[in-house]
Amino acid sequence: MAKRLYEVWKGKNKFIFRGRLIFGPDAKSLIITLLLIIVPVIIFCTNVARNLLGETSGNIAGYAILMVTVVFTIYVLLLLLLTSARDPGIVPRNLHPPTEEMCYDSSASIDVGRQTPTPRLPPTKEVIVNGVPVRVKYCITCQLYRPPRCSHCSVCDNCVERFDHHCPWVGQCIGMRNYRSFFLFISSSTILCIFIFGMSALNIKFLTNDYGTVWKAIKESPLSVVLMVYCFIFLWFVGGLTCFHLYLIGTNQVRHDAKTVSTRRTDNKKTTYETFRYRGVERPQVYDRGCLNNFREVFCSKIKPSRNNFHAYVQENERGFTRGMNSEGYIGNLDGNRREKVEDDREIGGDLLKISQRREAEDA
């Protein structure tokens, strides 16, 4: 019986609605994130906003504060869902290694006392990006050469295009297809923190005018102070993260494992991972298009469709691909095709050896 792709997926992702929504293996952390957002908003609406309605009775401002809080919170939650439940840009795994990239290592011996070239894949290869040679790595797990700026996430066990980092707060990788929604999520959360902090302070001000002293105002509405402290603490986190990603976008930096061959100035298009992994390493400006175009690329470019249709059915032979490759050949195949592949490569190696020996005999 044919199965859907999400049912035989080799990564560590979790799926719901028959593969229509994809999460990381740590998706349970979303519950904590939701509580950190929803609980303070409920406290604000049931206490602070209600007090502000009383202070501004007969004025639409009190209702506007309540409506803005509710609508903006829903907007933040939708951005969280778009970030955590979307394919971040997973590169599909190969069923077989790229045989056109095979090279032969004559140092390995197989068969009885014979030196035979053994097929191997180079660990890296060079590609040209904007006229600059870039070295990309071969991923043993996915059996492919990663595209430039792609990296393998050890948490989800997938190669992700323009991989920035794996965020435990959203339970998903941040990559090419969800980076925009991730940035909008953290920036909107920052604005929501500032708004709640400001409105709570305004409530304390109104109560101070009514009761005469700040201390009496705090005793009358202690939750306003709690919300101010809470928002102040989390503002350092989400606000600092927003500023950091503004810097990354402005300098067009996104994560990848590719290393450029040239050793000129630092590449000005890195992700969070690149910034910490390659600090102090000299690399050329391969991707930087200027600050304005860098922002346009993130916010105005069309999001590419997913390379994977997790809801689609897959054929039986499409599910037998391996998890990796070792130095002697290929392992992990379920249908035996990989073993036949190794035998063919050995026969080719033997033929090459015979040709080499024949030429040596002719020269002698």
Q: Which of the residues are catalytic?
A: 167
Q: How far apart are CA 93 and CA 23, in angstroms?
A: 18
Specify whether the CB–CB gap between 337 and 320 falls below 8 A.
yes
Q: How far apart are CA 8 and CA 19, in angstroms?
A: 11
Name which of 180, 185, 171 is nearest 21 in CA terms.
Answer: 171
Q: Which amino acid is at 246?
A: L
Which ranges of the chain would DSSP assign to H, the alpha helix?
Answer: 29-43, 49-55, 60-84, 179-211, 214-220, 222-234, 240-250, 272-277, 291-299, 337-363
Indicate the DSSP class of residue 45: I
Task: Count CB atoms within 10 A of the CB of residue 252.
Answer: 22
- CA 301 vs. chain centroid, Å, equals 18
Name which of 131, 132, 162 is nearest 146 in CA terms.
Answer: 162
Residue 126 dihedral angles phi and psi, to the nearest 5°: -100, 135
Residue 251 dihedral angles phi and psi, to the nearest 5°: -100, 5
Indicate the DSSP class of residue 90: B
Specify whether the CB–CB gap between 69 and 41 falls below 8 A.
yes
Q: How far apart are CA 325 and CA 343, in angstroms?
A: 15
Tokens of 356: 């080499």
Q: Which amino acid is at 136?
A: V
